[in-house]
């Protein structure tokens, strides 16, 4: 019988990460998004645009993060509003005379 090397256990294959090249939210934390929205709109306007208690009753970044992490529909609305804000900022920058 020939001398064969011992078989090494197979390494588990880690799944390849999904490419995020076209995701404008990639690399942004929820805290960054909420902070930017609050700075741009303020809590009162943010509460009108996304009517949830964490923006209308004793708002804070901490309470907002806690709520948004547990509530997918609200998080989607906040992320959508952030993307809208970014688009509007780009439009204003490209058309300064309008």
Span 25-82, pLDDT tens digits? 888 899 999 999 999 999 999 999 999 999 999 999 999 999 999 999 999 999 999 9
* pLDDT interval class at 8 (50, 70, 90): low
The pLDDT of residue 48 is 95
Q: Which fold has domain 30-92?
A: 1.10.720
Map tokens 């901490």 to a residue: 62
Checking if the pLDDT of 1 tops 60, the result is no
The pLDDT of residue 63 is 95
**Residue 27: CB partners within 8 Å, gap ≥ 6?**
20
The token pair that represents 5 in the structure block:
């090397």
Q: What angle do CA 72, 83, 23 make, to 5 degrees?
A: 80
Percent share of the chain, pLDDT over 90: 61
The token pair that represents 18 in the structure block:
């999904």
Buried b (16+ CB within 10 A) or exposed e, 19-36: eeeeeeeeeeebeebbee
Q: CB burial class (10 A; 0-12, 13-18, 19+) of residue 47? A: middle
């Amino acid at each position: 019988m020939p001398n064969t090397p011992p078989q090494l256990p197979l390494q588990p294959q880690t799944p390849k990460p999904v490419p995020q090249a076209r995701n404008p939210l990639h690399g942004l934390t929820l805290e960054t998004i909420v902070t930017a929205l609050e700075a741009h709109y303020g809590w009162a306007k943010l509460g009108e645009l996304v009517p949830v208690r964490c923006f209308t009753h004793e708002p804070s970044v901490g309470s907002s993060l806690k709520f948004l992490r547990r509530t997918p529909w609200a998080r989607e609305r906040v992320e959508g509003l952030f993307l809208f804000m970014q688009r509007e900022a780009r439009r204003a920058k490209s058309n300064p005379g309008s």
